[in-house]
Amino acid sequence: MTLATAVPWPPAHPPHRLFGIAPDYIELSRQAPLVRLSLASGAEVWLATRYQDVRTVLSDRRFSSCTRPLHRTGRQGEVTVAKLVHSDPPEHTRYRSLINRAFSARRMIALEPRIHQLTEEYLDAMATGPRPTDLIQAFAHPLPVRVICELLGVSYADQSVFLQPITHLLSNDVSGHEAKESFAGLLDWMSALLAEKRAGDSDDLLSELARCSDLPDGELADLAITLLAGGYESTTGMIAASVAVLDAYPEARLALRSGAADWDRAIEELLRYITVIHHGLDRVVTEDVFLGGQILRRGERVIAFLPAANHDLELCADSERLDVMRSPVRHASFGFGPHQCVGQQLARSEIRIALSGLMRRFPNLQLAVDPEELRYRSNMVVDGLRELPVTF
C-alpha cells in the first residue's frame, strides 16, 4: 500500500465544512480499509477507517493501549499521563474497577435533576446577558465543568488551577517542557486535594477513591486528573458543535422542537455525525495480525480513526447527512472494548438536557456569524470550536 503522504495528520477542518469528516479522509476510507500515513514526526502508522476494523483495533487484545500519545510524539518525552487510557488489562482493569460503580447508569440518572437545575441557571443568565453571546463561554463549557466538579468533589473555583494545564496536555502546540511542568503542577494540586479527601468525610467520588483505593498517590492523582479532563472537554465540544450543526439543518431543529423527533435518537445521530475525538485512538500491534486486507507486524502503530468509522457507508449509505429521524446507526464515538468511555451515560444526559433546554428556552437561537467564519480548535486532541457566537 502506497504511503498517503499527501494527506496531513492530524486532519484539519477544510474550509466551508461543518464537522463531519474531511473529504480527503472520505476518499481514503473508500479506497481501502487500512492505509499508511507518514506523520510529521517521521513515524509511519496504519490508519483504520472502517467501522468493523476500528472496533477490532479497540477491542482485540493483540492491539495494546500501552503507547505514548501520537499527538505529542517527539515533544512530550518523558511526560506520562492518563494511565487509565494508556494501559492494558490487568493494570487497566484495576483502574477501571475503581470507577465503574461511580459512573453507573443508575447513578447518572440520579444526577439528572441537578444537571437540569444547573442548565436552567445558565440559561437564566444567558436570557439577561449580552447578545450576541459566545455560547461556549456562557453555557457549553461551564455546564459540564460544573457537573464533573460536583461529581468528583472538586471546587468549581479551582478551575483557574486545572483548566490551562489540561489544555496544555491535550494540545499539539505546547512544548514537551511546558507539558511536563503543567502536569507536575496538576499532580501536586490533585495529590494535596486527595490528601484532604482522605482525611475528611465527604461522599463525592474523589473522597471514595482516596479512602478505598490502594493505588500509589501519584497513580491515584493521575487517575483523578484523567476523570476531570474527560468529564468536560468532549462534552463541551459536543454541545457547541451540535448547536452549530443543527443551525445548518433547520428541518432537524424543527423536528426536535415540535416533538416529532426523539431526543435520545437525535443525540446518537449527533454523536455519530460530529465525532469530537477527531485525532483517533492509537494502538500498538503486539503480534502479527491480518486486518483490513493487510498484514500488520508486531510493533507497528495503528490509529483507529473514529470519524471515518462513524461515516462508514456500510453502516449508513448517506452518512454525510445528519438525519435525526433515522433509525439509530451504530457509532464508535465512545470507543469499544476495555477502554470504552466510562462516562458515556453522563455525556449523553448532559448533551440531551443542554440541547433540549436551549431549544425550549430560545427556540429562535441561531448563529450570529456566517458558518464559514467559525474557528476550530484543530490543534487539540478533542475537536471543537474556539467560540460560538449566537443570538436569540
Q: Are 162 and 186 in contact (CB under 8 A)?
A: yes
Pick the CATH number of 23-391 from 3.60.130.10, 3.30.300.30, 1.10.630.10, 1.20.1440.130: 1.10.630.10
Cα 121 to Cα 134, 224, 369, distances in angstroms = 16, 27, 26
Q: For the full predicted model, state whether its pTM sits above 0.85.
A: yes
Q: Per residue of the chain (392 residues), what is the pLDDT tens digit?
A: 444 545 667 666 655 566 666 667 777 777 788 988 887 777 788 999 999 999 999 999 999 998 765 544 434 444 557 889 989 999 999 999 989 888 888 888 899 999 999 999 999 999 999 999 999 999 999 999 999 999 999 999 999 999 999 998 888 777 777 777 888 899 999 999 999 999 998 989 999 999 988 888 899 999 999 999 999 999 999 999 999 999 999 999 999 999 999 999 999 999 999 988 877 789 999 999 999 989 999 999 999 999 889 999 899 889 889 999 999 999 999 999 999 999 999 999 999 999 999 999 999 999 999 998 999 887 788 888 999 999 99
Query: Which helix or strand (DSSP H or E) is residue 390 part of?
Result: strand 389-391
Q: Identify the three-state secondary structure at position 368.
A: coil
Q: Are 323 and 269 in contact (CB under 8 A)?
A: yes
Q: In whole angstroms, what is the distance from residue 250 CA to residue 254 CA?
A: 6
Strands 301-304 and 44-48 turn out to be parallel
Q: Identify the three-state secondary structure at position 354.
A: helix
For residue 36, give the nearest of 326, 300, 314, 329 by alpha carbon.
300
Query: Which helix or strand (DSSP H or E) is residue 351 part of?
Result: helix 344-361
Q: Which residues contact 12 (CB under 8 A, 6 or more apart)?
A: 22, 378
Please tell me whether the peptide bond between 132 and the residue prior to it is cis, using omega within 30 degrees of 0: yes
Q: Are 19 and 30 in contact (CB under 8 A)?
A: no
250-258 vs 263-274: helix axis angle to the nearest 10? 160
Residue ranges per structural domain of the chain:
23-391
